[in-house]
Amino acid sequence: MDVVTSTILASFQAIPYATPVAVGGLFFSMFCVKKFISDQKRRNARLPPEVPGWPVIGNLLQLKEKKPHKTFTKWAEIHGPIYSIRTGSSTVIVLNSTDVAKEAMVTRYSSISTRKLSKALTVLTQDKCMVATSDYDEFHKMVKRYLLANVLGTNAQRRHRCHRDNLIENISSQLHAHVETSPNEAVNFRDYFQSQLFGLALKEALGEDVQSVYVDEFGSTLSREEIFKVLVLDPMEGAIDVDWRDFFPYLKWIPNKSLEKKIQQMDLNRQAVMNALIKEQKKRIDLGQKQNSYLDFLLSEGTLTEKQMSMLIWEIIIETSDTTLVTTEWAMYELAKNSKCQEMLLQEIKNVCGSEKITEEHLSELPYLNAVFHETIRKYNPAPVIPLRYVHEDTELGGYYIPAGSEIAINIYGCNMDKKQWENPEEWKPERFLDGKFDPMDLHKTMAFGAGKRACAGSLQAVLVGCTSIGRLVQEFEWRLKEGEEGNVDTVGLTARKLQPLHVILKPRT
Our CB check for ligand HEM shows the closer of 84 and 324 to be 324
Query: What's the min distance (Å) between Cβ of 163 and ligand HEM?
Result: 12
Query: What's the min distance (Å) between Cβ of 369 and ligand HEM?
Result: 15
Alpha-carbon gap, residue 407 to 179, rounded angstroms:
50
Query: Which span (18-26, 172-180, 359-367, 443-451) binds ligand HEM, by CB under 6 A?
Result: 443-451
List the one residue from 458, 471, 472, 496 that touches ligand HEM (CB under 6 A). 458
List the one residue from 100, 131, 276, 366 that touches ligand HEM (CB under 6 A). 131
409-428 binders of ligand HEM (CB under 6 A): 412
Q: Which x/- pattern, by CB under 6 A, does the window 138-157 give for ligand HEM?
A: ------x-------x-----
- The answer to whether the beta carbons of residues 450 and 386 sit under 8 Å apart is yes
Alpha-carbon gap, residue 216 to 214, rounded angstroms:
6
DSSP class of 434: G
- The answer to whether the beta carbons of residues 147 and 131 sit under 8 Å apart is yes
Neighbours of 183 (CB within 10 A): 11
Strands (E), 67-178: 82-87, 90-95, 114-115
Neighbours of 88 (CB within 10 A): 17
Query: What's the min distance (Å) between Cβ of 501 and ligand HEM?
Result: 18
Verify binding: residue 194, ligand HEM, rule CB under 6 A.
no
Alpha-carbon gap, residue 113 to 105, rounded angstroms:
8
Query: What's the min distance (Å) between Cβ of 389 and ligand HEM?
Result: 7
Verify binding: residue 203, ligand HEM, rule CB under 6 A.
no
List the one residue from 327, 395, 416, 469 that touches ligand HEM (CB under 6 A). 327
Alpha-carbon gap, residue 296 to 301, rounded angstroms:
9
- The answer to whether the beta carbons of residues 83 and 94 sit under 8 Å apart is yes
List the one residue from 132, 210, 295, 371 that touches ligand HEM (CB under 6 A). 132
Our CB check for ligand HEM shows the closer of 84 and 125 to be 125
DSSP symbols for 363-412: GGG-HHHHHHHHHHHHHT-SSSEEEEEE--S-EEETTEEE-TT-EEEEEH
The reply, when asked if residue 129 is annotated as ligand binding, is no
Backbone angles phi, psi at 48, to 5 degrees: -60, 150
Verify binding: residue 454, ligand HEM, rule CB under 6 A.
yes
Verify binding: residue 449, ligand HEM, rule CB under 6 A.
yes
Nearest to 90 by CA among 494, 393, 389, 415: 389
Tell me which residues touch ligand HEM (CB under 6 A): 131-132, 144, 152, 316, 319-320, 323-324, 327, 377, 382-383, 386-387, 412, 448-450, 454, 456-458, 461-462
The binding site comprises 456
